Amino acid sequence: MQEKAADIQVMLEQFFPETPVPLHHQDAYTLLIAVLLSAQCTDERVNQITPLLFARADNPLDMLKLSIEEIREIIKPCGLSPMKSKGIWGLSKMIVELHGGQVPASFEALEAMPSVGHKTASVVMSQAFGVPAFPVDTHIHRLAIRWGLTEGKNVEQTERDLKALFPESSWNKLHLQIIFYGRKYCPARAHVIENCPICLKYNREKK
């Protein structure tokens, strides 16, 4: 398993040596908002909506000047807008009142905020603060199972398995490489094994 993981990592590095964060942002706060909005929404759609929101409020103090209803109206195209708008306003209030207006670089503090789960906190910790984390969403979970790297029944177990298989220093880049690879070569539907070098290699080896 360790050997397979190392081989897959080499392949991912060949295909995606550069891993720009797909969600447009300027700092930890705008990244946090963008990741929250990306739940059950495409990155492309989020990147269309965040400029409209950030033109009104790109920091927690300004966000609190908007009503939850105003936020909801702007972010409606991202889906789940009632929950997300309350979350954005609520976490902005916590950042101002508890953290001096700055996004805290702590899993515990981030996960205490409304609408911020472990995956969202992991993205912010890894991409905004450079802290090793391995954000596992349903896409990474699906690929890890497909590639035989985990038998995890949920994203939590898959995260533990992937952290055990890959060097900590690679986690922040690797989770993006897996996402990019999945989008281009290993989609959930209409997956053509001949077009997917990792599946082609390891499915052949199974036979």
List, by residue number, the catalytic residues: 119, 137
Alpha helix stretches (DSSP H) within 66-133: 68-75, 81-99, 107-111, 118-127
Q: Is 97 exposed, middle or buried (0-12, 13-18, 19+ CB in 10 A)?
A: exposed
Three-state SS annotation for 143-199: HHHHCCCCCCCCHHHHHHHHHHHCCHHHHHHHHHHHHHHHHHHCCCCCCCHHHCHHH
